[in-house]
């Protein structure tokens, strides 16, 4: 038996859940997820940050447009506050970092929410975990925040269902075939006829495209490692009573941020891999620990837990949104890299407009054609 829907979305992470919700305002939507639980991979393994000034120019514009949308989504979807303010410090501790930070400040000088230069001593005052005199140059992002990723994802899924959308987990798509003016999507024993398919399968987006006979976009998944590290008792006196900032090395060689009574640390690694259920590499964990210890001197030695996720990019590191002219109705919604969560409110609204042919909302200063797969 064959069912039908206006749109089939493939992928149940933040990308699929967000665009499915936006599309369900005017379309009937079915979302397929291969895993038995939604958001098992990149979404669940994110550092969960909202950082204006992060990523390429198009991504930065999407992040800025997403800021006010987080608050509106929380109200609209009966969710708790989705953003909790967390200042971000960019620091340089050597010549390479100083050059990277100077380039960052030049490139983003006129952009809203961009990093602002900060005196190195002020950076060390704001984060007393840093060794005195270690910072050679710094910048601050005052409008950054932590994101409640789980609440955001659950809200999108809840909103989709409220609008009549259907979620089918544990249902890997096995075939896609052109059918009249649309597509027939096969998942197990289920077949659905639809006008539009949205490929929001994250690191697997090119695999899904291959099932449909659609040329790949050249998506490359990169492994990123994070570890939760306890702060030794001997260094607890250096932890202030108030909130600590997140600290990012300007050349993206490490970052750390508070998490409970410890620190999340990462070597900011990007190791190209095939799409798979990523696991942390012990050397990457040790590298992250070593780099953060070098600038803090906290005596970090042990790791409470560690994990890895996949960040997927195409060559120009912009998201890919839309269909190729010779494969109408098959829409990519992929390549969000490390910004899929922080840009999701605006990117999902833009993606839904591309699929439906509606105008892009006025607050989103991104031309859809700049994200089209035809550029690749």
Give the mean pLDDT of 245-250. 98
Q: Helices (DSSP H) in the chain: which residue ranges?
A: 14-23, 57-76, 95-107, 120-126, 149-162, 205-211, 282-296, 344-356
pLDDT tens readout for residues 158-198: 999 999 999 999 999 999 999 989 999 999 889 999 999 99
In the chain, count H helices and then E strands: 8, 20
> With 80 as the cut, is the pLDDT of residue 119 above it?
yes
CA 30 to centroid of chain Cα atoms: 23
- Say whether 152 sits in a helix, a strand or coil: helix
Place of tokens 């005196």: 119
> Residue 44 has what pLDDT?
61
Spatial CA neighbour of 20 closest among 214, 172, 200 = 200
CA 55 to chain centre: 11
Maximal CA-CA distance, the chain: 70
pLDDT digits 0-9 by tens, 302-342: 999 999 999 999 999 999 999 999 999 999 999 999 999 99
Q: Residue 236 contacts by C-beta under 8 Å, 6 or more apart in sequence?
A: none
CA–CA distance, 302 with 117 (Å, rounded to integer): 34
How do strand 2-10 and strand 29-32 relate by DSSP bridges? parallel
- Using 50, 70 and 90 to split pLDDT, how confident is the model at 41? low
Give the span between the Cα atoms of 266 and 264, in whole angstroms.
7
Q: Residue 189's pLDDT is what?
A: 84
C-alpha span between 159 and 141 (Å, rounded): 31
- Among residues 329, 348, 30, 352, the alpha carbon closest in space to that of 209 is found at 329
* Distance in angstroms (rounded) separating the CA atoms of residues 301 and 164: 50
Is the per-residue pLDDT at 1 higher than 90? no
Task: Inform me whether the pLDDT recorded for 100 exceeds 80.
Answer: yes
The pLDDT of residue 50 is above 90: yes
- 61-70 per-position pLDDT tens digit: 999 999 999 9
What mean pLDDT do residues 250-275 have? Answer: 96
- What is this structure's pTM? 0.96
Q: What does the pLDDT read at residue 43?
A: 67
Q: What is the three-class DSSP state of 137?
A: strand
Task: Give the Cα separation of 1 and 26 in Å (integer).
Answer: 25
pLDDT in tens, 11-39: 999 999 999 999 999 999 999 999 988 87
Please, is 260 exposed, middle or buried when counting C-beta atoms within 10 Å of its C-beta (0-12, 13-18, 19+)?
A: exposed
Tens of pLDDT, residue by residue over 84-99, are 999 999 999 999 999 9
pLDDT mean across residues, the chain: 96
Distance CA 16, CA 122 (A): 41
Residue with tokens 């190729």: 324
Instruction: Please report which confidence band the pLDDT of residue 222 belongs to, taking 50, 70 and 90 as the band edges.
Output: very high
What is the spatial distance between Cα 108 and Cα 277, in angstroms, rounded to a whole number? 35
51: nearest Cα among 342, 247, 310? 342
Asked if 312 contacts 147 with a C-beta cutoff of 8 angstroms, the reply is no
Cα 213 to Cα 36, 178, 236, 275, 375, distances in angstroms: 26, 9, 57, 19, 19
2-10 vs 190-199, strand pairing mode = parallel
Task: Give the pLDDT of residue 47.
Answer: 81
Give phi and psi for 339, each to the nearest 5.
Answer: -120, 15
Residue 167 CA from chain centroid, whole number: 21
Report the C-alpha gap between 16 and 20 in whole angstroms.
Answer: 6
What's the pLDDT at 95? Answer: 98
Q: Are 128 and 150 in contact (CB under 8 A)?
A: no
- How much is the CA Rg of the chain, to the nearest whole Å? 21
C-alpha 117/C-alpha 171 separation (Å) is: 49
């Amino acid at each position: 038996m064959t069912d039908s829907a206006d749109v089939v979305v493939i992928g149940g992470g933040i990308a699929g859940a967000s665009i499915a919700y936006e599309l369900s305002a005017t379309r009937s939507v079915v979302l397929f997820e291969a895993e038995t639980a939604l958001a098992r991979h990149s979404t669940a393994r994110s550092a969960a940050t909202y950082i204006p000034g992060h990523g390429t120019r198009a991504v930065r514009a999407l992040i800025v447009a997403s800021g006010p949308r987080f608050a509106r989504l929380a109200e609209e979807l009966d969710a708790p506050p989705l953003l909790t303010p967390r200042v971000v410090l960019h620091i340089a501790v050597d010549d390479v970092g100083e050059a990277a930070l100077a380039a960052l400040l030049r490139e983003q000088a006129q952009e809203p929410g961009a990093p602002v230069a900060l005196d190195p001593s002020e950076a060390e005052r704001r984060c007393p975990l840093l060794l005195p005199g270690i910072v050679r140059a710094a910048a601050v992002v005052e409008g950054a925040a932590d994101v409640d990723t789980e609440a955001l994802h659950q809200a999108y899924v809840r909103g989709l269902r409220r609008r009549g959308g259907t979620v089918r987990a544990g249902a890997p798509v096995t075939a896609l075939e052109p059918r009249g003016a649309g597509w027939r999507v096969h998942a197990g024993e289920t077949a659905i006829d639809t006008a539009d398919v949205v490929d929001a399968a994250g690191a697997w987006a090119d695999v899904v495209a291959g099932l449909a006979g659609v040329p790949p976009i050249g998506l490359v998944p990169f492994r990123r490692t994070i570890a939760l590290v306890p702060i030794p008792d001997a260094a607890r006196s250096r932890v202030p009573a108030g909130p600590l900032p997140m600290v990012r090395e300007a050349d993206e060689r490490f970052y750390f941020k508070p998490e409970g009574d410890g620190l999340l640390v990462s070597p900011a690694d990007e190791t190209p891999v095939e799409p798979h259920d990523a696991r942390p590499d012990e050397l990457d964990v040790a590298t992250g620990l070593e780099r953060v210890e070098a600038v803090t001197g906290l005596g970090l030695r042990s790791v409470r837990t560690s994990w890895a996720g996949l960040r997927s990019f195409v060559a120009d590191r912009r998201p890919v949104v839309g269909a190729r002219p010779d494969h109408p109705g098959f829409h990519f919604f992929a390549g969000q890299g490390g910004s899929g969560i922080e840009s999701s409110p605006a990117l999902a609204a833009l993606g839904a407009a591309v699929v439906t042919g509606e105008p892009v909302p006025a607050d989103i200063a991104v031309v859809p054609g700049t994200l089209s797969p035809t550029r690749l």
